[in-house]
Amino acid sequence: MTATVSNFSYGAVTPIAAYLMACLGAALGLRCTTRSLRRPHHKNGWLALGAIAIGCGIWTMHFIAMIGFSVQNALISYDTTKTLLSLAIAIAVVAIGVFLVGHRGRSPMTLATAGTVTGLGVAAMHYVGMAAIHTTGTLNYDTMTVVLSVAIAVAAATAALWAAVSIHALWASLGASLVMGVAVTGMHYTGMAAVSVHLTGGATTAQSSTHLLSFLLVMLAGPLMVLLIAAGIVMFDPDMMLSDDDWDRAAPAPHGTGTAHPVQQQSQPYTTW
d(CA 47, CA 26): 13
- pLDDT averaged over every residue in the chain: 82
Q: Is-contact 135 100, C-beta < 8 A?
A: no
Residues 15-62: pLDDT tens digits?
999 999 999 999 998 888 888 877 778 889 999 999 999 999 999 999
Q: Which residues contact 58 (CB under 8 A, 6 or more apart)?
A: 22, 25, 90, 94, 122, 125, 184
How much is the pLDDT for 201? 63
Q: What is the pLDDT of residues 164-189, one digit of tens each?
A: 888 777 787 788 888 888 989 999 99
Contact 216, 92 (CB under 8 A): no
Poorest-confidence range of 1-10, 30-39, 93-102, 212-221?
30-39
pLDDT of residue 194: 93
Write out pLDDT tens, residues 196-241.
Answer: 988 876 554 444 567 778 888 889 999 999 999 998 888 886 655 4
Q: What is the 3-state secondary structure (H, E, C) of the chain?
A: CECCEECCCCCCHHHHHHHHHHHHHHHHHHHHHHHHHHCHHHHHHHHHHHHHHHHHHHHHHHHHHHHCCEECCCCEEECHHHHHHHHHHHHHHHHHHHHHHHHHCCCHHHHHHHHHHHHHHHHHHHHHHHHCEEECEEEEECHHHHHHHHHHHHHHHHHHHHHHHHCCCHHHHHHHHHHHHHHHHHHHHHHHHCEEEEECCCCCHHHHHHHHHHHHHHHHHHHHHHHHHHHHHHHHCHHHCECHHHHHHHCCCCCCCCCCCHHHHCCCCECCC
CA 62 to chain centre: 9
> Domain-by-domain residue ranges, the chain?
5-240, 243-273
What pLDDT does residue 188 have? Answer: 94
Rounded Cα distance, 133 and 82, in Å = 9
Closest CA to 37 of 114, 103, 91, 112: 103
pLDDT of residue 217: 87
pLDDT for the residue numbered 259: 43
For residue range 258-268, list pLDDT tens digits in order. 444 443 344 34
What global pTM score does this model have? 0.81
